[in-house]
Amino acid sequence: MKIAVASDHAGYDYRQMLKEYLLSLGHEVEDFGCPDKSSCDYPTFGRRAARAVQSGECERGVLVCGTGFGISLSANRLEGIRCVNATDALTVRLSRLHNNSNMISLGARVIGEEEAKFLLDTFLQTPFEGGRHARRIALIDDKTI
């Protein structure tokens, strides 16, 4: 699977760790993140990765900032992007099963490295259920309601 990754300065080290982890699992990784740990603005980098998922260039996306929340907000502003701010495995699993989330955000300051890998595995391995959930996803993107 081709996966877009991005982070701000707070998530720089986690992004590097998660890139290596994804590569070790056999995924292709496209990095849209900041070039170093200098202070930067998370929306810039989160949106770059989200656009790659939105366009189909990448199948999924992984974002990292201090809490995971800010960068998920910037990604979710784009049509067709459903980025889950990963706080626990159940939320991640249900976001895939019911919401067909196509991006995950992780908080480098609030989630340990092993937990981040576990949440990422859950995100990558959980399928979308479809059915009634597909109708609801269509409603999320419906501009007439």
Kindly report, residue by residue over 95-130, the tens digit of the pLDDT: 999 999 999 999 999 999 999 999 999 999 999 999
Give the residue numbers annotated as catalytic, written as ranges: 65, 98
Specify the pTM: 0.95
Q: State the pLDDT at residue 142.
A: 84
Kindly report, residue by residue over 31-57, the tens digit of the pLDDT: 999 999 999 999 999 999 999 999 999
**Binding residue per annotation — 8?**
yes
CA distances from 48 to 8, 30, 112, 130 (A): 12, 11, 25, 28
**Binding residue per annotation — 33?**
no
